Amino acid sequence: MTGTLYIWLIPLLPFAGFLLNGILGTRLPKWLVTTVALVAPLASFALVLNAARSIFGIGPAFDSLPYIETCPHPWISIGALHIDFSFVLDQLSLVMLLVITGVGFLIHIYSVGYMGHEEGYARYFSFLNLFLFFMTLLVLAGNALLMFVGWEGVGLASYLLIGFYFKKDSAANAGKKAFIVNRIGDFGFLIGIFLLLTNFGTLTFSEIAAKLTANPAWQGGVLTTIALCLLLGATGKSAQLPLYIWLPDAMEGPTPVSALIHAATMVTAGVYMIARTHVLFDHAPFALDTVAVIGAATALFAATIGLVQNDIKRVLAYSTISQLGYMFLGCGVAAYSAAIFHLVTHAFFKALLFLAAGSVIHAIGGEQDLRKMGGLWRKLPITFWTMTTAVLAIAGFFPFAGFFSKDAILYAAYLQGPAGRALWFVGLVTALLTSFYMFRLWYLTFLGKSRSPEVHPHESPWSMLGPLVILALLSIGGGWIGAGAGLGRFGSYLSLSTGARAAESTNPHLELILSIAAVAVAFAGWFIADLLYRQKPAEPAQLAEALPEAYKLLANKYYVDEFYGATVVKPLLGFSKYVLGWVVDFGILGGLAWLLGGIAMLAGAILQRWQSGNLRSYAAWLAAGAAAVLLFMLLPWPWTSPWPISVQFIWKVMGR
Amino acid sequence: MNLFTQGVPISWYLLLSAVLFSLGVLGFLIKRNLITVFMSIELMLNAVNLSFVTFAHQWHAVKGQIFVFFVMMVAAAEAAVGLAIIIAVFRARATLAVDRIDLMKL
């Protein structure tokens, strides 16, 4: 590998696109906006491919990585603290970059078709480019602070895009909710950064890792605290319990945004962050267990909610939360490669699911309610077939992409002793639920009879179908990169930067049995969905009536939003309104301002009497003043001198 | 005291100056006609001139005399501007009573 790879241009090109479209977008012709918006991610993708080519070109010796590019001018340099703009390309960030720029570019193309008739076309694309800038920055960052910049930036881009239809109240509120909930997580991340700085004296990931590797005995303690703080950040960004609540509402944004930001890339930032700081987590077993438990709990929790949702995008949102739970589970059992592998395949099939859902919504005129769809497979054949591959992939059927990655995580969990088997079982139940609700969505959308005969669906334009087809191919074949024992080539490649797990005796028979169990569960889910939504369409309603309490609990999403509203939002709002608003703002600050103003007004009221406009009264005051000065000069001031000032002055002049 | 042999004592000049100045102040304060008020100002200026000249004579310094020329020059300029203003005021208000020219109060 010789010469430079220009990886600093990977984030910067989308940023240029953002500036260009953001500032001039409304004045440029539409084709130029489209060109700028597409060229920026395409060029980034090309640079990533070039980097990948030159890295793979040198054969299996991946250990010449990480490859680092640093801005010659330091960013922050205070005393011993030294932070650079350093971009690090290693196995992990290269995989992430391929996914982000690749899937990102596809979604940009899709957006051209999807957003073609929308108001704010240039605004949309400038935000999308901004997102790519921050996301690639996050992934390439060589230290925690630069990562935090990207971390905050993707939050901003997410906020802007969720609230893209800002004239709608629900969209504006959803944007705010996402931003505020993310702030809670960011707080944790920030505390984690501070703790890293005080305990390690550096924020560079490689130096932290080196210090930890040099001290294998350093376990737990402050490391656990740091890891838990980072985990809080990760749960916010990656929509895990207890901070997942913003993601379902984020579906208010345009569908391609849901696909790119709220399914394929941004929400996986938490998983990436844990994988990036995995050395820390490896030294903090308690934090690692917490990650696993949160992941498994979130996976199951979100999947159960997904069972009864009727909005097509919300089903997908809960499924995203659930799949992110799998990734956390993978991280939590220290199978970082498996988690990243699932991240990659999930990016393929979940982006595909969202884009296909967008194609459906686009086709039937903005309707998102599953109960009003049905029988669309004849009208939208390409959307139907691509969606089918995605459903098969997420349900975990062999040989689709989801099978390999989900299996790797479950297998890794199973190997972790009795507690690991419990996690594995939760994962398996989640797989059953996943398969069920995905096929439910599939049946309700595409099969059966149309429930809204008045709409005339039309297949989407090729700018939308092209990305669908490419992603479908990736969803079918993408899993093979990680096939084989220990994730095959992918595992051995990625383990160089995520670390190989403590050597477990890989047991091919056990893995085969677990795989068969997983596929059997996926078939069971399909079978139940088939039974309920194809053979006996009346059954689901009866089931809901038979179990009213359970159904209400799920349909209302376990009342978590209500719970947070009552315990956090309401007290905070009340505190803000009454204590901060009335007492502090109106009472103290306002009172102070009124007091100062009152003094000035009172003084003015008194002094304005002098401003009578009567020339002679002015003259009289003048004369009185002159007389006063004269008296002051001529009268003696016994407490200073027996002589008047005028006399003293004359003495002084005469040199006495 | 023989005024023809010894000259006028300096205190007389100063007293005259003070009386003239006081008369000017009094006129300024009590007269209602704007032109009279204006003349009172001139009176005060000239009273001051007188004391300047007196002290210049007393101390044998030419500074005081030069200062008088400055004052006279400023007084001339001021008279020109002041009279112009008085004419303008009279045209606008048809009166020269200072008590009635009070539009600038609150």
DSSP code string of A351-392: HHHHHHHHHHHHHTTS--BGGG----TTT-HHHHHHHHHHHH
Residue type present at position B91:
R
Over residues A575-616, the pLDDT tens digits come to 999 999 899 999 999 999 999 999 999 999 898 888 777 778
Residue A484's pLDDT is 65
Residue B37 near chain A (CB below 8 Å): yes
Residue type present at position A205:
F
Distances (CA, A) of A301 to A26, A204, A244, A329, B42: 44, 36, 11, 13, 99
**Mean pLDDT of the region A90-108:** 91
Q: In this predicted structure, which of A97-111, A248-262, A476-490 has the lowest mean pLDDT?
A: A476-490
Q: Examine the pLDDT at A1 and tell me if it is beyond 50.
A: no
Residue A131's pLDDT is 94
The model's confidence at residue B104, banded by pLDDT at 50, 70 and 90, is low
**Mean pLDDT of the region A257-276:** 91
Tokens of A378: 């004849």
Q: In this predicted structure, which of A381-390, A423-432, A487-496 has the lowest mean pLDDT?
A: A487-496
The model's confidence at residue A486, banded by pLDDT at 50, 70 and 90, is low
User: What angle (nearest 5°) sits at the alpha carbon of residue A292, between those of residues A66 and A499?
Assistant: 25
Return d(Cα B76, Cα B80) in angstroms, integer: 6
Residue A623 near chain B (CB below 8 Å): yes
In angstroms, what separates the C-alpha of A640 from chain B's closest C-alpha? 29
CB atoms within 10 A of CB A380: 24
CB contact under 8 A, A616 and B98: yes
In angstroms, what separates the C-alpha of A174 from chain B's closest C-alpha? 55
Residue A77's pLDDT is 86
Return d(Cα B85, Cα A600) in angstroms, integer: 35
In angstroms, what separates the C-alpha of A15 from chain B's closest C-alpha? 59
Residue A107's pLDDT is 93
Residue A321's pLDDT is 94
Residue A28's pLDDT is 87
Q: Examine the pLDDT at A225 and tell me if it is beyond 90.
A: yes
Return d(Cα A46, Cα A62) in angstroms, integer: 20
Q: In this predicted structure, which of A76-85, A185-194, A336-345 has the lowest mean pLDDT?
A: A76-85
CB contact under 8 A, A614 and B99: yes
Max Cα distance, chain A (Å) = 125
Closest CA to A410 of A276, A235, A292, A290: A292
Contact between A238 and A188 (Cβ < 8 Å):
no
> Distance of alpha carbon A432 from its chain centroid, rounded?
27
The radius of gyration of chain B from alpha carbons, rounded to an integer in Å, stands at: 18
Q: What backbone phi and psi angles, to 5 degrees, belong to A81? A: -80, 125
The model's confidence at residue A638, banded by pLDDT at 50, 70 and 90, is confident
Q: Examine the pLDDT at A177 and tell me if it is beyond 70.
A: yes
**Mean pLDDT of the region A352-377:** 86
Q: Which residues contact A121 (CB under 8 A, 6 or more apart)?
A: A25, A30, A33, A115
Return d(Cα A508, Cα A616) in angstroms, integer: 112
Residue type present at position A132:
L
- Rounded to the nearest integer, the mean pLDDT of chain A is 87
Residue A71's pLDDT is 82
User: What angle (nearest 5°) sits at the alpha carbon of residue A47, between those of residues A43 and A51?
Assistant: 170
Distances (CA, A) of A247 to A62, A266, A328, A505, A520: 37, 11, 16, 39, 30
By Cβ distance, the residue of A608, A611, A623 closest to B29 is: A623
Closest CA to A11 of A56, A53, A49, A43: A43
Q: Which residue of A has its CA nearest to B34?
A: A615
Return d(Cα A465, Cα B106) in angstroms, integer: 77
Return d(Cα B101, Cα A149) in angstroms, integer: 69
Chain B residues closer than 8 Å to A614 by CB: 98-99, 102, 105
In A396-507, alpha helices (H):
401-414, 417-446, 462-477, 488-498
CB atoms within 10 A of CB A560: 15
The model's confidence at residue B105, banded by pLDDT at 50, 70 and 90, is low
Tokens of A549: 């309490």
The radius of gyration of chain A from alpha carbons, rounded to an integer in Å, stands at: 33
Residue A503's pLDDT is 45
The model's confidence at residue A487, banded by pLDDT at 50, 70 and 90, is low
Residue B59's pLDDT is 87
Q: Could you tell me what percent of chain A has a pLDDT over 70?
A: 96
Residue A597's pLDDT is 94
Closest CA to A311 of A351, A357, A348: A357
Return d(Cα A292, Cα A305) in angstroms, integer: 20
Contact between A236 and A181 (Cβ < 8 Å):
yes
Over residues B22-65, the pLDDT tens digits come to 999 999 888 888 899 999 999 999 999 999 999 998 888 899 99
Closest CA to A551 of A308, A360, A343, A351: A308
Return d(Cα A578, Cα A426) in angstroms, integer: 45
> 3-state secondary structure string, chain B?
CCHHHHCCCHHHHHHHHHHHHHHHHHHHHHCCEHHHHHHHHHHHHHHHHHHHHHHHHHHCCCHHHHHHHHHHHHHHHHHHHHHHHHHHHHHHHCCCEHHHCCCCCC
CB contact under 8 A, A608 and B106: yes
Residue B99 near chain A (CB below 8 Å): yes
Distances (CA, A) of A367 to A22, A47, A371: 30, 39, 10
Chain A residues closer than 8 Å to B102 by CB: 612-615
Return d(Cα A267, Cα A158) in angstroms, integer: 10
In A502-638, alpha helices (H):
508-530, 539-546, 548-555, 560-564, 570-574, 590-607, 615-634
How many CB pairs below 8 A link A and B?
31
CB contact under 8 A, B29 and A620: yes
Distances (CA, A) of A410 to A371, A396, A424, B24: 34, 12, 5, 110
